[in-house]
Amino acid sequence: MIKVAVLGYGTVGSGVVEVLRVNQEIVNKHAGQEVELKYVLDLRDFPGDPVEEVLVHDFETIVNDPEVKIVVEVMGGLKPSYDFVKRCLESGKNVCTSNKELVAQHGTELLQLAKANSVNFLFEASCGGGIPIIRPLYSALTADKIDEVSGILNGTTNYILSKMASDGSDFESVLAKAQEKGYAERNPEADVEGYDACRKIAILSSLAFEQYVDYKDIYTEGITKITAADIKYAQTIGTSIKLLAVSRQSDKGTYAMVSPVMIDSSNPLFSVNNVFNAVYVHGNMLGSSMYYGRGAGKLPTASAVVGDLIEASKNVNQTVMGEGWNPKKLELMPLDEISGRFFVRISGSITEKLPAVEKVFGTVEPITVPSMEDEFAFITDEMTEAEYKEKANQTDGILSMIRARI
Amino acid sequence: MIKVAVLGYGTVGSGVVEVLRVNQEIVNKHAGQEVELKYVLDLRDFPGDPVEEVLVHDFETIVNDPEVKIVVEVMGGLKPSYDFVKRCLESGKNVCTSNKELVAQHGTELLQLAKANSVNFLFEASCGGGIPIIRPLYSALTADKIDEVSGILNGTTNYILSKMASDGSDFESVLAKAQEKGYAERNPEADVEGYDACRKIAILSSLAFEQYVDYKDIYTEGITKITAADIKYAQTIGTSIKLLAVSRQSDKGTYAMVSPVMIDSSNPLFSVNNVFNAVYVHGNMLGSSMYYGRGAGKLPTASAVVGDLIEASKNVNQTVMGEGWNPKKLELMPLDEISGRFFVRISGSITEKLPAVEKVFGTVEPITVPSMEDEFAFITDEMTEAEYKEKANQTDGILSMIRARI
């Protein structure tokens, strides 16, 4: 038998308790032993909820109980999570977490601490909710040099962009509806500004490139400026706009970026819609692969946490991820040096404006949308961000720019 | 240091040697030790190829060398693979294979034999080439009761169907072109008749449901009868026709089937085209997930084999998959009891034939393709295969039937 404590009885925490209860038999079988939930920590009381039997309000009860071998941290945030997790690892307890902030901010240290104490610090649920991506990266795609990890890593923004595309609505009105439905938080900043995706791609990049990537170094742009007009253009040329988190390694260096990107149907991420998430991984032998599923939600996230819990229960005194990634920070390329293509919308008629645009950008193929007169768009050749900025400065009437990977 | 032998220097075998050479540093790092290729077994000679240094013609050299801890079997077929693999496991050597026939036919026994000898029998490359699906099933999706595994598991047929859809060509002409390009074998039966996909879904089902599924029990239908006309109808209603291998478990029982299926864009397998493969997995907590990548090819397959080799090298005397699935054969539902919808093409004009059709099938919504006069189609409500057969027997002029999952 192995005894477990859950820190936090919020959405994910109650999901973990539910998975342990409903799939008890499967969990025990896969763990090779009975898994017993000994404590749930929460400051609140839950009168009438069966959780009362195991509910405690004091973390010390858990950390000082030598019977507890695995601690599930699903409180979120850094305070007090960071201290709690650190103390658990130092006390020789395995920790499984869904907390992307914690992993992005302190993962390097916590992985080393786990190794030093011969326990595990596991975080499958921190990126892509229920999608198994962390374990494939460290245990399956091991024969490859991974040169790209990218993905749609935030369900809220993918839902908003999908809805904008299907309904032709503007960002603000779709956001309001998403908030009503509970698909977006009342304070949606972390999602719509790309901060959530940024932390996730930092974690995935650290794992894939096996060296610490600091999320603060990643250029991050959200979807708040995307308009119904932008999406009409995208649809006209058979593309879609996604909030992509991209991380690539080449001879020139490594870059990482979170931003809206126009992609076409040849990209496996093209048809990932609504709240679904997907992670694309490219290896030098494997080629392209993709992992798709529910990126958030109580039960999919809890399923990933409990998968970690089972992994930990089979390896209570053996650190399956080793020391983790190299703690020396991986220097990312400056934004200016990153190359790509750019979709650009220009105000004014083609006849009037195109000559000036072509003087700066060279020959372009203008794109028009029937219902939208007095403007047009084009997609640049590949150039660096610096080159684009310079050309954009010389161009009048730019309505919007979206990076294009087509 | 760990010493390895490769049985077979064909496409996959030479790929394995290439991955070990090109990614030597990564492989050693992930294995936690130096991985040395000690032998390659092949009956042929390869004058001038560096493999000559390790080439042997006699299996006894390998099986009798106690230094060899891991044997990679990439010869394919059952003879002599089965005997070789058995003897390796009995000699306490770990085995990694890409051989789906071997796993489908003898997997149950070989997994038990591996367990009895405290070694590993690993076969990530046997299903879906480079797509990590076996390891996620047994090591990541462990908190879930899996109730469905389905997928596009054969690259040749997916390429043919994709080409038929993009070019409007018939099966025979696309097959001929695929053979020219090397995407289809000269004897394409195993692919186009669905036998290859059948073995793969048997393996995936055994793993997902944790009980032995005999591939011989799986109803299997290939793509040879799919015509350009069928595909035109599919495109007209925004669907695509895929060779799907489906395996589902419900209160009614378990069914498995390989057949062409019409799917719409809400299905994550819809946009899996050309030689790409994908596996869809549904769990009771996780919901939907999908794994996508190159289902065949020298290097993607070799990447999966070497991933297994690394897993084995970290667990030389510990069976990571335990005893494998329950050896008692899982009884599948008879074909007649399986329910679904059916796309049916009828010869003749709507005015003339529809009344008779509706007398049998009830009210249907006829589908027509502008260029194809004197015929129409419809999609039935959900009914069992037996019910469909009975109704089809009462209906004149059925040109084709394709199962529909829309």
Fold of A336-405: Alpha-Beta Plaits (3.30.70)
Mean local confidence (pLDDT), B23-46 = 97
Per the CB < 8 A criterion, the answer to whether B298 and B14 are in contact is yes
The whole-chain average pLDDT of chain A stands at 96
CB contact under 8 A, B286 and A303: yes
User: What ipTM is given for this predicted complex?
Assistant: 0.94
Name the band, by pLDDT with cuts 50, 70 and 90, for residue A17: very high
Evaluate if residue A306 carries a pLDDT over 90.
yes
DSSP state of A126: G
User: Do B143 and A27 make contact, defined as CB atoms within 8 angstroms?
Assistant: yes
B389 annotated active-site: no
Mutation target among A35, A37, A289 for the B interface, most CBs of B within 10 A: A289
How many C-beta atoms lie closer than 10 Å to residue A186's C-beta?
6
Q: Which CATH architecture has domain A2-129+298-314?
A: 3-Layer(aba) Sandwich (3.40)
Q: Quick one: average pLDDT of A317-323? A: 92
Which tens digits make up the pLDDT trace of B139-176?
999 999 999 999 999 999 999 999 999 999 999 999 99
**Could you tell me if B246 and B257 are in contact, meaning their C-beta atoms sit under 8 angstroms apart?**
yes
**Distances from the Cα of A46 to the Cαs of A21, A42, A61, in angstroms?**
17, 9, 19
Instruction: With CB atoms and an 8 Å threshold, state whether B136 touches A135.
Output: yes
Pick the CATH number of B135-294 from 3.40.50.2300, 3.40.50.720, 3.30.360.10, 3.40.190.10: 3.30.360.10
Amino acid found at B180 = E
The predicted structure's pLDDT at residue B337: 97
The arithmetic mean of pLDDT across residues B220-249, rounded, is: 97
Question: B285 and A294: CB-CB below 8 Å?
Answer: no
Query: What's residue B110's pLDDT?
Result: 98
Query: Catalytic residue among B38, B163, B200, B391, which?
Result: B200
Task: Point out the residue among B141, B293, B322 whose CB comes nearest to the CB of A290.
Answer: B293
Mean pLDDT across A366-374:
93
pTM over 0.90: yes
Write out the two tokens for A361.
Answer: 């950008």
Q: What percent of chain A has pLDDT over 90?
A: 94
- A31: tokens are 């763990």
Does residue A326 surpass a pLDDT of 90? yes
Domain map (residue ranges) of chain A: 2-129+298-314, 135-294, 336-405
Three-state DSSP class for A397? coil
Q: Which residue of B has its CA nearest to A311?
A: B139
Give the pairing type, strands A68-73 and B367-369.
Answer: unpaired
Q: What residues of chain B lie within 8 A of the CB of A290, using their CB? A: 290-293
Per-residue pLDDT, B79: 96
pLDDT above 70: percentage of residues in chain A: 100
- Among A303, A311, A320, the strongest candidate for a mutation testing the B interface, having the largest count of B CBs within 10 A, is A303
**Residues of chain A contacting B291 with CB distance shorter than 8 Å:** 289-292
Q: Per residue, what are the HEC states of chain B?
A: CEEEEEECCCHHHHHHHHHHHHCHHHHHHHHCCCEEEEEEECCCCCCCCHHHHHEECCHHHHHCCCCEEEEEECCCCCCCHHHHHHHHHHCCCEEEECCHHHHHHHHHHHHHHHHHCCCCEECHHHCCCCCCCHHHHHHHHHHCCEEEEEEECCHHHHHHHHHHHHHCCCHHHHHHHHHHHCCCCCCCHHHHCCHHHHHHHHHHHHHHHCECCCHHHCEECCCCCCCHHHHHHHHHCCEEEEEEEEEEEECCEEEEEEEEEEEECCCCCCCCCCCEEEEEEEECCCEEEEEEEECCCHHHHHHHHHHHHHHHHHCCCCCCCCCCCECCCCCECCHHHCEEEEEEEEECCHHHHHHHHHHHHCCCCCEEECCEEEEEEEECCCEEHHHHHHHHHCCCCEEEEEEEEC
Confidence of residue A123 (pLDDT cuts 50, 70, 90): very high
Mean pLDDT to the nearest integer, B42-52: 96
pLDDT class for B19, splitting at 50, 70, 90? very high
Residues of chain B with C-beta less than 8 angstroms from the C-beta of A295:
none
Mark yes or no for CB contact B23/A306 under 8 Å.
Answer: no
Mind listing the pLDDT tens digit for each residue in B285-304? 999 999 999 988 899 999 99
Does the distance separating the beta carbons of B307 and A141 come in below 8 Å?
yes
pLDDT, tens digit (0-9, with 9 covering 90-100), for A23-59: 999 999 999 999 999 999 999 999 999 999 999 999 9
Q: A139–B291: do the CB atoms touch at under 8 Å?
A: no
List CB contacts (< 8 A) between A146 and chain B: none
Q: Which residue of B has its CA nearest to A146?
A: B26
